[in-house]
Amino acid sequence: MTTTAATATRPLAGHAVHPLGLGCMGMSEFYGPSDEAESLATLRAARDLGVQHFDTADTYGLGHNEALLGRFLRGLAPSERAGLVVATKFGIVRAQGTYERRIDNSPAYIRAACEASLQRLGVERIGLYYCHRRDPQVPLAEVVGALADLVQAGKVAALGFSEISADSLRQAHAQHPIAAVQSEYSLWERGAETAVLPTARELGVAFVAYSPLGRAVLTDQPPAAQTLAADDFRRALPRLQGQAGAANLQLRERLAARAAEIGQPVAALALAWLLQRQPHVLPIPGTRRQAHLRQNLAACALQLSEALLAELDALFAPGAVQGERYPDAGFAGVETR
């Protein structure tokens, strides 16, 4: 293995951005308690280290995450905000303290959700606005039409869809340019390789990979379901339960052994695989801590040999990881499992 300069920028929503973004969800919810001061420090460190792509959603902390990101943005000088892509999402509606959700894609809801997100973020225009999940009862053309109206009104710069099927992506992109599609993708979850990932590449649509570290399994500190905080949603993930969990952690141990051999964090090795295998993919690993942020960014300075890439391909071949990636409630609005 040799090291090279950081990976080149990648196109996203009209900008050339650092290949790694920052997923902000865990700063507000789902992964147990967080330290708001450390979260804000991590956001600032990310920008100072070159990160330009920040990903949130209105459902993360029921607005708290957007408001937190808004506080960070207000603390930046205009020159520091230039070139940032702030992405948020609409469509998942939940009650406080619950994981179960309903999906709302109605044009009226889209307009109202956009206005609320603009207020919480403290921006005049959202850089990248995603339909977080699809409601099959609302025709896709109506959803795209409502989003196109927001672009026309200057409230949104670019459009995206999360967990959309390849066929729906084609249909949406034919109606209005779609800048990005977001799906779970990593060594841990390779289902997108079947259809959505190649379709995005063909159409020139950026592919944003969320959970590129497998819910922190592909890191130096993998979660153990029995030790997670009571409000950590990973306690319910099938891939961390029972025999599936045990088998999956054995895969992770083999990855960790290879990372140790080359003297790199597990996260850096997992992200370097993704960056080199998929030049049009933009991973958004989430973290609340500056130390973990720096481990993730180390991936951009790695150049893995073809032999090591092939070894990782085989170790985490599609189907090698056992269990569903979500409990049943988590698949609401997901077009492909």
Terminal C-alpha separation, the chain:
35
User: Is 60 a known active-site residue?
Assistant: yes
Rg of the chain over all Cα atoms, to the nearest angstrom: 19
Task: Look at residues 186, 161, 178, 179 and name the one whose alpha carbon lies nearest to residue 285.
Answer: 186
The CA distance from 257 to 227, in Å, is: 23
Q: Is residue 137 helix, strand or coil? A: coil
Task: Look at residues 188, 120, 128 and name the one whose alpha carbon lies nearest to residue 156.
Answer: 128
The CA distance from 273 to 10, in Å, is: 16
DSSP class of residue 8 equals P
Residues with Cβ within 8 Å of 207's Cβ and at least 6 positions away in sequence, in order, are 180, 181, 182, 183, 185, 192, 196, 197, 200, 201, 278, 280, 281, 282
Pairing outcome for strands 206-210 and 180-184: parallel
Q: Is residue 131 helix, strand or coil? A: strand
**Is 253:281 a contact under the CB 8 Å cutoff?**
no
Q: Which of 60, 130, 210, 326 is catalytic?
A: 60
In order of 36, 216, 296, 307, the CA distances from 288 in angstroms are 9, 12, 12, 33
Residues recognised as catalytic: 60
